[in-house]
Amino acid sequence: MSNNLYSLATSNRAKVAIGVDSKLPSAEMVINSALFARREGYAEPVLISDGKISDVLSPGGIVGNEIPLIIDKTPERTFVELLKEGAVDVAVRGNLGSRILIPLLRSEFKCKNLCRVTILDVGGRLVMLAPVGIEEGDSLEDLLTIARHCMWLAVKLGIPYKIAVLSGGRIEDKGRSKKVDRMLSTSALLTRTLRKKGMDAENFGIELERGVDGDATLLLAPDGILGNIIFRSLVLVANVESFGAYAAALPRVYIDTSRAKASYLLPIILASALSK
């Protein structure tokens, strides 16, 4: 099913803003990913950086004579303005730091919770994981909001919608600790509420592996901290492919990325695929 994203990206060939922190070694990875995305016809990248990003820059400000480059002392603000004003179709964080960029996105779009959802390629099958922002998913209402956004995203991705609600222990572990009991109680309530709202949800407790084997298309973590740990375990340790994290609550398409990634191609493809 992941092939559908490549097809959509090629069809849309969206204008994608991509952030580049020139001080980091990963700047070269961002540039190479942008060049490959353009040459393969997935997107029309526009790089936003705080300075000259490599020796391949021409005097005209074009990377490899192919990609426009915008240099600004505050690249995060320029990045957000381009997205908000529609000067670009979509945006990918690239290797810009989140400390400045994320608060700017929240402020400019008047959005308290970005509802970031990462899209994983698990054996050729698209699986969503949320929440993955460490400050997101702290309440039952937050998790319900994320689930509603993911239902729309599943339709956009062309996949069925089946939720695996995750928790802090197996269902039969109740009584082993007060913390586990609280988490199991919350996940049980969340599962019941999701079902009442017409969503296909099952409580898998801590058994993430059963959720994946059971064809779940959304792994709903207890909160953003645990979701981020799951993401890092799967993607940065076990090498599961990630298309980045879609900010589902924003009115414009923004894809968040991890600066630990070796390539930024898949987030660019996802952004272009979701552009229409």
Do 144 and 186 share a structural domain? Answer: yes
Candidates 167, 165, 203; CA nearest to 183 is: 167
- Give the residue numbers spanning the domain of 50: 1-111+250-276
Do 60 and 28 share a structural domain? Answer: yes
pLDDT 10s digits, 55-69: 444 455 556 568 898
Candidates 257, 247, 197, 187; CA nearest to 219 is: 187
Please report the pLDDT score of residue 274 as a whole number. Answer: 96
Q: What is the CA radius of gyration of the chain?
A: 19
SS (H, E, C) 185-227: HHHHHHHHHHHHCCCCEEEEECCHHHHHHCCCCEEECCCHHHH
In this model, does residue 21 exceed pLDDT 50?
A: yes
- Contacts for 55-58 with beta carbons within 8 Å, 24 or more apart? 56/31
Please report the pLDDT score of residue 159 as a whole number. Answer: 94
The CATH number assigned to the domain holding 196 equals: 3.40.50.10750
Do 258 and 233 share a structural domain? Answer: no
Instruction: Look over the chain and give the mean of its residue pLDDT values, rounded to a whole number.
Output: 92
Claim: this prediction has a pTM higher than 0.85: yes
Please report the pLDDT score of residue 110 as a whole number. Answer: 95
Helices (H), the chain: 3-12, 27-39, 75-85, 98-108, 140-157, 178-196, 208-213, 224-231, 265-273
Please report the pLDDT score of residue 56 as a whole number. Answer: 44
- Across the range 88-96, mean pLDDT stands at 97
Do 124 and 163 share a structural domain? Answer: yes
Q: List the single range of 14-23, 56-65, 123-132, 157-166 with lowest mean pLDDT.
A: 56-65
Please report the pLDDT score of residue 1 as a whole number. Answer: 58
Rounded (10°) angle between helices 27-39 and 265-273: 50
Residue 261 · residue 77 · CB < 8 Å: no
High-pLDDT (> 70) share of the chain, %: 94
The CATH number assigned to the domain holding 25 equals: 3.40.50.10950
Half-sphere CA count of 64, side-chain side, radius 13 A: 14
In this model, does residue 115 exceed pLDDT 90?
A: yes
CA angle 46, 51, 16 (to 5 degrees): 10
- Across the range 221-240, mean pLDDT stands at 95
Question: Exposed (0-12), middle (13-18) or buried (19+): which is 157, by Cβ within 10 Å?
Answer: buried
Please report the pLDDT score of residue 24 as a whole number. Answer: 85
- Across the range 40-51, mean pLDDT stands at 94
- Across the range 248-271, mean pLDDT stands at 92
Q: How many domains does the chain have?
A: 2
Q: Using 50, 70 and 90 to split pLDDT, how confident is the model at 151?
A: very high
Do 147 and 83 share a structural domain? Answer: no
Q: Using 50, 70 and 90 to split pLDDT, how confident is the model at 19?
A: very high
CA angle 152, 252, 86 (to 5 degrees): 145
